[in-house]
Amino acid sequence: MTNYDAGDVLTVHGGTPLNGELRVRGAKNLVSKAMVAAVLGETPSRLYDVPAIRDVEVVTGLLELHGVKVTRGELDGELIFDPSNVESANVDEINVHAGSSRIPILFCGPLLHRLGHAFIPDLGGCNIGGRPIDFHIQALREFGAVVDKSEKGMDITAPDGLRGAKLELPYPSVGATEQILLTAVRAEGVTELRNAAVEPEIIDLICVLQKMGAIIKVHTDRVIEIQGVPRLTGYNHRPIPDRIEAASWGAAALATRGDVFVRGARQADMMTFLNLFTSVGGAFEIDDAPGTGGIRFWHPGGELKAVAMETDVHPGFMTDWQQPMVVALTQARGLSIVHETVYERRLGYTAALNQMGATIQTYRECLGGTPCRFGRRNFMHSAVIAGPSKLHAADLVIPDLRAGFSHLIAALAAEGTSRVYGVKLIQRGYEDFEGKLNALGAHVELG
Ligand code: EPU
């Protein structure tokens, strides 16, 4: 492991329960999209409670490349975006961001409205499946955009402007729904979107757009109707809290037999997680005091129980909650079953847990739930976890953001000293996680 610098390696002396409290801020998967939405406004926008994470830096860089002035406000976590001078960015400079984030694709609609053209580099993001963008491209074409693939990425133009369309997604994709919202709000006429994603982060993005002057109706059965308007203003917005980070710390409390209060976590966004947390044998308590409230997660003692779980789109169990929770399931008595139905390759990280003493077998079949899109397509997307297993320390290489956090939890739960390589990937989505770990009594050091 020679090609990691000291700041990218975390030494974890495991075996100590995590105890204490931390705070989660605005949801990564809303904040980054709200930042892109600011491009659509004719006046500055203001976003509060923005976490200091790598993905926010990446989107800040992309905004600045396109002429948006990004400044810090007076409050901690407050960012102001001034889009008065939106301009085309140099293709090579945008390409520097390729591989670091999937957010560039969401700039299409806003840039087409502001400039008449957009360039999108080859996209990166977590290595958790094919992550195609066919739904995005198809929707943009139906709005009237012309998409040309070039060597470095995609050139997109709208020679006749963008017009509202009747669209139906083959699967309720979060990113494609956001793409359609960010494009339809200023397209001419009405857009009707069927089979839309309705994750809380999507609803919060709709709140942002409504503050900007957009007219969006969320109907029942995943139907969203957008009435295009000729202009939008800036917004002031406080994002929903990060329910993925909150659940990650909850799972870490359970796996380490600890007790963690996650200030800022909100029950309404986490009901499915809380149900499973209780079924496994974890305990939680809601404090809904305004400003100071949150959720306390703890291991009440005794043995955890095996469960069958299936990831799904909202209101199902989030795919991003799966990896941290599986570490806790290695400590449960009996056979737990996991069926991952959102991404086809999101169980690869279990090999590292096996290396640490867990017993996890992955399967191509759809286990424990309804058959999914991946069932007959040769993807290892189900797992059986036999527990409880005593985890021992290991050297671990982080493959992606959420799997990375689960490696970290496993190292914290294991006896002995582990070295976790590639922790900068965790900084993409977890603000100051080393500081938070220290505050919870973990014995960790960089290097
Ligand atoms: N899909 C397609 N074609 C498309 C778009 C998506 O086939 O054009 C498929 C994907 O391959 C996948 C499924 O649809 O199998 C769902 O993908 P979705 O578009 O919903 O995911 P995303 O927008 O790329 C966001 C989050 C993910 C989160 C998923 C699901 C962001 C930046 N990312 O991804 O978060 O897992 O929704 O909730 O918002 C993370 O935060 O670590 C993360 C991966």
Pocket of ligand 1 (CB under 6 A): 28-29, 32, 102, 126, 129-136, 171, 173-176, 197, 199, 244, 319-320, 342-343, 401-402, 429
Q: What is the pLDDT of residues 317-340, one digit of tens each?
A: 999 999 999 999 999 999 999 999
For residue 274, what are its two tokens?
Answer: 């809380």
* Contact (Cβ atoms closer than 8 angstroms) between residue 58 and residue 121: no
Write out pLDDT tens, residues 290-319: 989 999 999 999 999 999 999 999 999 999
Helical residues (DSSP H) of 116-199, grouped into ranges: 134-142, 174-184
Mean pLDDT of 97-116: 85
pLDDT of residue 127 exceeding 70: no
Q: What is the pLDDT of residue 80?
A: 98
> 66: exposed, middle or buried (C-beta count within 10 Å: 0-12, 13-18, 19+)?
buried
Token representation of residue 406: 């689960």
| Predicted pLDDT of residue 100 | 61
Q: Which atom of ligand 1 is nearest to the CA of 29?
A: 39
CA 361/CA 351 separation, integer angstroms: 9
Contact in structure between 228 and 189 (CB atoms under 8 Å): yes
Average the pLDDT over 390-410 and give the result: 95
Q: What is the pLDDT of residue 94?
A: 76
Distance 133 CA to ligand 1 centre (A): 10
Q: What is the pLDDT of residues 252-278, one digit of tens each?
A: 999 999 999 999 999 999 999 999 999
Helix 243-255 vs helix 401-413: crossing angle, to nearest 10 = 20
Ligand 1 geometric centre to CA of 102 (Å): 9
Q: What is the dihedral of CA 53, 59, 62, 68, to 10 degrees?
A: -110
User: CA quadruple 146, 149, 152, 154: dihedral positive or negative?
Assistant: positive
Mean pLDDT across 386-408: 95
Q: Average pLDDT of the chain?
A: 94
